């Protein structure tokens, strides 16, 4: 990859990781039309850690407070357990299906376009439902709801579905409001993406050359800087505008991608 391509992909990753639009789908489509790829599709997974560092930076005070409260607060312990339970389905299925996901699903651009459009329609539909949320704080999510959100997260192993979109929709359908569902998605991203990073590095480190490591480092840095901006402002944006802007973006992008594939291949 050329330097400008690495910077572009890192920027796309950081801007889209926490939006319900599928960062992986965006990366794979851009790479398809640029005619570039990485060994074992490792670059696309490893630069996600930059976005995770963005969460850790923005949420550092909350995380430190949570850690300090663990010994004395049953609420804090229940929340941590809820995040762990939500993480487990993706950990198991991701490990079992890793080869198929990277070798087949990541290499099917028309599928990515289709899932982008289908996910957009689902987001529009959920956004228009007259749901009556009963949970307004991610700290209060019961374990069954957290597990359901974790099962929804597994859908995001299909590129184009969106990890954040799947977890947010799962939370909304099971009684959470938009803001808390989005915040729980942030917390769940931490173990999920760290786990994906570690597992993918373990599987593919032997294939990485010096240039690949340099590209990953640069993409990581750009992803981190863009991710900080998104994490700081996304909750307020979602609270005011809902998910319709992201849904329409998915539909338009997916349609344009299918058209481009039909013309260009």
Query: What angle (nearest 5°) sits at the alpha carbon of residue 216, between those of residues 35 and 52?
Result: 115
Residue 141 C-alpha from the chain's centroid: 20
Q: What is the pTM assigned to this prediction? A: 0.86
Task: Return the pLDDT at 188.
Answer: 94
Q: And the tokens for 21?
A: 């639009």
Most confident option among 15-19, 35-39, 197-201, 250-254: 250-254
* Helices of type H across the chain: 3-16, 23-34, 42-46, 48-58, 60-69, 74-103, 109-128, 143-154, 163-173, 178-204, 210-241, 244-264
What are 176-220's pLDDT values in tens digits? 998 899 899 989 998 998 888 888 888 877 777 788 889 889 998
Q: What is the DSSP letter of 37?
A: -
Three-state secondary structure call for residue 264: helix
How far apart are alpha carbons 22 and 13 in whole angstroms? Answer: 9
Local structure of 136: helix, strand or coil: coil
**Average pLDDT over the chain, rounded to an integer:** 89
pLDDT, one tens digit per residue, over 68-80 is: 999 999 999 999 9
With 0-12 CB in 10 A as exposed, 13-18 as middle and 19+ as buried, what is 73?
Answer: middle
Of 87, 65, 81, residue with least CA distance to 141: 81
Nearest by Cα to 182 from 225, 133, 224, 113: 133
125-148 confidence digits (pLDDT tens): 988 888 889 999 999 999 999 999
Q: What is the predicted pLDDT for the residue at 235?
A: 67
- Pick from 45-59, 129-143, 148-162: least confident: 45-59
pLDDT tens track for 225-260: 998 888 888 767 876 777 888 999 999 999 999 999
- Contact 50/84 with Cβ under 8 angstroms? no
What's the pLDDT score for residue 147?
Answer: 97
87-132: pLDDT as tens digits? 999 999 998 998 898 888 888 999 999 999 999 999 999 888 888 8
Q: What would you report as the CA-atom Rg of the chain, rounded to the nearest whole angstrom? A: 18
């Amino acid at each position: 990859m050329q330097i400008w391509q690495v910077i572009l992909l890192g920027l796309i990753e950081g801007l889209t990781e926490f939006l319900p639009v599928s960062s992986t789908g965006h990366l794979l489509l851009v790479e398809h039309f640029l005619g570039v790829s990485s060994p074992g599709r490792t670059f696309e997974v490893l630069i996600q850690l930059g976005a995770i560092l963005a969460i850790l930076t923005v949420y550092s005070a909350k995380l430190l407070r949570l850690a300090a409260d663990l010994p004395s607060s049953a609420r804090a312990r229940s929340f941590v357990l809820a995040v762990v339970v939500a993480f487990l389905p993706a950990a198991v299925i991701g490990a079992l299906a890793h080869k198929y996901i990277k070798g087949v699903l990541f290499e099917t651009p028309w599928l990515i376009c289709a899932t982008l459009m289908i996910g957009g329609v689902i987001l529009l539909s959920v956004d228009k439902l007259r749901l009556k949320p009963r949970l307004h704080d991610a700290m209060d999510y019961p374990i069954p709801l957290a597990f359901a959100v974790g099962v929804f997260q597994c859908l995001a192993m299909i590129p184009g579905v969106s990890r954040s979109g799947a977890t947010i929709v799962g939370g909304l359908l099971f009684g959470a409001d938009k803001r808390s569902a989005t915040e729980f998605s942030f917390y769940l991203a931490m173990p999920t993406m760290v786990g994906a990073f570690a597992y993918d590095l373990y599987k593919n480190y032997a294939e990485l050359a010096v240039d690949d490591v340099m590209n990953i480092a640069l993409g990581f840095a750009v992803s981190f800087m863009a991710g900080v901006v998104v994490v700081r402002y996304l909750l307020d944006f979602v609270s005011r505008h809902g998910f319709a802007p992201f849904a329409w973006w998915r539909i338009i992008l997916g349609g344009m991608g299918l058209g481009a594939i039909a013309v260009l291949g």
